[in-house]
Structure 1
Amino acid sequence: MNSILLKIENKIATISLNRPKVFNSFNREMALSLQRILDDCETNDDIRAIVLIGNGKAFCAGQDLKEVTDPELNPGFKKILDEHYNPIILKIRNIKKPIIGAINGVAAGAGANIALACDVVVAHEKVSFIQAFSLIGLIPDSAGTFFLPRLIGFQKALALAMLGDKISANEAEKMGMIYKSVPAEDFEETINQLAFKLANMPTLALGKIKEAYNKSMTNTLEDQLALESKLQIEAASSNDYAEGVAAFIEKRKPNFNGN
């Protein structure tokens, strides 16, 4: 059974974590497969938006602990971080296409932080997020110490990391951890609508927005203003900008092609 599934339809790539019997926890094969598929999505011009979701009852329960406790299979934490999770986070952030984190079930440990690295995170109301690391004597990884305090504030993030509290999707939305919590019965339709909308927007500009927000994490104000100027000039020379302005003047719906 493939640990990662890929479906491409209507310019949307749906990537499904597919180890449902272990709540989509990561082993080495799954981590490397996800990286390959993210690379393929980046270079495929037919793909203009990406959805990352889990099969079964969970989004992702983090690391498969059976792998790290097996003396023959255990790759060691250095390899797990350097070769598995860190490249996944960097690929999610650096792909110049919008990525929706469709959180269909529990997101724990590295699974929670992979979810939070996505561009637009939507969860149904029965989902929970858990920084589970401290509960087994570890620290948050997969950029959890980077994104979480920036999303919800230093004090709240530190407390969640230390206490390992379970946070509902509704709580996560209220504290700014995710974009939206929706009723379970509306989840699939909400994800489909969001993905379709993003795939038909000026995706070249969306990629530049993503780049600007990424660099705002570490840039000075002066650096960020210079970057905005550079990216805006590039966006203004695109076919999508010309189409957007023409559609506005002509009072019609724009037909963006992503370049």
Structure 2
Amino acid sequence: MYSDYEFLKVEPGADRVLRITMNRPEKLNASGEIGHAEQGRIWREFDADPEMNVALITGAGRAFCAGGDIKEGNGPLPVDTRDGRALVRNMIACRKPIVSAINGVAVGGGLAIALLADISIASERAVLIDGHVRLGLAAGDHAALVWPLAIGMARSKYHLLLGNRITGREAAEIGLVGTCVPHEDLMPTANEIATRLAEGPQFAIQGTKAALNDWYLHNIGIFEHSLYVEALSATLPDAEAGIRAVREGTEPEFPGAVNSDRY
């Protein structure tokens, strides 16, 4: 088990904590096609592993995960709704608790993992960005489902429609993550919490998680809608302009701002 991962470094611990590291630090852990698939698959294998009680995920180097590798053409176009659906649905369906240690920038699928974790811990160096609109894309992945429950509709619209950068401290203050700690305390805190969960009453912990995740399951149609509009927006000229600007290092000029493309 866990032997055929390339993007993820997976380490089962004697303390029954599965430590997962997104391991492409030279690219800020941008995932690419292989990484996208692994980010969805790992949760089913972890859930089926009788030896592990808790998963703890972080990123190698100075980033958590910079999302898809846009400059190398591995994301977000064409939008792969299959991998995005697997990531979100498998994390929600996973019976066991997941802890995220957000050590740096978290974008795209990486941000989905960071916030869908049952306990999210941010470093003071963390930066959370749902930058879909900056690329001419509708906010798919997880945000329409997760953010309104966490921080309310008004704040969700404020940040998602503007594509704001949110620091780890700000994310904790508005309730987007569980807590924020000094960077040097991040991994000790995350390991302490993961160990505490692993040593706790598993039926009670898993049952509590399952009941809370019913909020997501009862509203899963919102997530499916967001995937649809993201995939649709990826076919429009605005997305082409946004991706081109990222690859060229320029500011995008969106045709839809003039032509008034409407949903």
> Does TM, normalized by the shorter one, top 0.5?
yes
Alignment of 1:71-86 (within 5 A): 76-77=78-79, 80-82=80-82, 84-86=83-85
Structure 2 equivalent of residue 92 of structure 1: 91
Give the conservation status (yes or no) of the 8 Å contact 2:6–2:34.
no
Structure 1 equivalent of residue 6 of structure 2: 2
With over 3 angstroms needed to count, the CA separation of the structure-2 counterparts of 1:38 and 1:112, relative to structure 1, is same
Whole-Å separation in 2 of the counterparts to 1:218 and 1:108: 23
Shift of 1:217: 4.3
Structure 1 equivalent of residue 164 of structure 2: 165
Alignment of 1:14-93 (within 5 A): 14-68=19-73, 76-77=78-79, 80-82=80-82, 84-93=83-92
| TM-score w.r.t. length of structure 2 | 0.76
Q: Any idea what the Cα deviations from partners look like across 1:153-200, whole Å, max 9, x if unmatched?
A: 111111111111111111111100000000111111101100100000
Percent sequence identity over matched residues? 28
| TM-score w.r.t. length of structure 1 | 0.77
Alignment of 1:129-140 (within 5 A): 129-140=128-139
Q: Number of matched residues? A: 214
Give the conservation status (yes or no) of the 8 Å contact 1:115–1:121.
yes
Q: Does 2:181 align with 1:182?
A: yes
With over 3 angstroms needed to count, the CA separation of the structure-2 counterparts of 1:111 and 1:69, relative to structure 1, is closer
Shift of 1:123: 0.8
Larger radius of gyration: 1
Shift of 1:93: 1.2
Consecutive unaligned residues in structure 2, runs of 5 or more: 220-263
Shift of 1:67: 4.8
Give the conservation status (yes or no) of the 8 Å contact 1:114–1:142.
no
Task: Give the residue type in structure 2 aligned to 1:149.
Answer: P
The residue matched to 2:46 in structure 1 has which SS? helix
Whole-Å separation in 1 of the counterparts to 2:77 and 2:164: 28
Q: Any idea what the Cα deviations from partners look like across 1:56-99, whole Å, max 9, x if unmatched?
A: 111011111135479xxx9721xx122x1210111111111000
Structure 2 equivalent of residue 239 of structure 1: none
Shift of 1:214: 1.3
Give the conservation status (yes or no) of the 8 Å contact 1:61–1:109.
yes
With over 3 angstroms needed to count, the CA separation of the structure-2 counterparts of 1:69 and 1:98, relative to structure 1, is closer
Higher relative contact order (CA 8 A, sep 6+): 2
Consecutive unaligned residues in structure 1, runs of 5 or more: 221-259
Give the conservation status (yes or no) of the 8 Å contact 2:57–2:101.
yes
- What RMSD, in angstroms, separates the aligned Cα atoms of the two structures? 2.0
